[in-house]
Amino acid sequence: MKNMKEFSLIGHNMVPQHILIPENEVNKVLKEYGVDKEQLPKIKLADPVIVEIGAEIGDVIKVIRNSPTAGEAVVYRLVIE
């Protein structure tokens, strides 16, 4: 029985694009929303997509969702635990 098959989660049609954004862009985002980093929505370090893109705790992930209302929606999540 084969149990190993590697494939990218990003390719699945239910998984939106996740992008690790650099520090200076993070500050821009926080300023735009007027919030602290901790007030952003969270994403867990153990989340399969985070494992795949290799982010670390404290990183901010930019998620580009396909939205039924806006076409494309950008949200940010803070990597925790």
4 or 56: CB nearest another protein: 4
Q: How far apart are CA 19 and CA 76, in angstroms?
A: 9
Q: Is residue 47 a contact partner of residue 53, using CB atoms and an 8 Å limit?
A: no
Q: How far apart are CA 6 and CA 23, in angstroms?
A: 31
* Residue 21 interacting with another protein (CB under 8 A): no
24 or 32: CB nearest another protein: 32
Which residues contact another protein (rule: CB under 8 A)?
2-5, 7, 9, 11-16, 18, 41-44, 47-50, 63, 65, 67-73, 77, 80
